[in-house]
Amino acid sequence: MDTITAASVPKLRVGVRLTFDRVRGAHVLLFPEGVLVPNSTATAVLELCDGTAPVSGIVTALSSRYQGVQESDVLAVLARFGQRRVIEWT
């Protein structure tokens, strides 16, 4: 997908899993090519990438938990993970 919008629906690609690593004490994103350790902001976004909620829904969900959530910030996080090919769009 070239253009990500508020209506785009992200999900983790097949073979990608977000899990909590007790050794690191942090969430890790496991995928066939490696491991990423996302920061807490990225983890909050990734937890909502279930293939059912559009970006606007993710922003709404995050806004109910955190103050100052900006759609542009969520889109930027998702764009970076899209470039790393760990999320896809439905």
- DSSP annotation string for 26-55: EEEEEETTEEE---HHHHHHHTT-BSSS-H
- What's the pTM? 0.93
Instruction: Report helix angle 55-65 to 71-83, nearest 10.
Output: 120
The burial of 47, by beta-carbon neighbours within 10 Å (0-12 exposed, 13-18 middle, 19 or more buried), is given as middle
Q: Does 2 map to a domain?
A: no
Nearest to 38 by CA among 58, 20, 13, 62: 20
Q: Does 89 map to a domain?
A: no
Q: Does 5 map to a domain?
A: no
What is the tens place of the pLDDT at every residue in 27-82?
999 999 899 999 999 999 999 999 999 999 999 999 999 999 999 999 999 999 99
Q: Which domain holds residue 53?
A: 10-84
Name residue 8's amino acid: S
Q: How many domains does the chain have?
A: 1
Distance CA 79, CA 51 (A): 15
CATH of the domain at 49: 1.10.10.1150
What is the tens place of the pLDDT at every residue in 1-16?
568 999 999 999 999 9
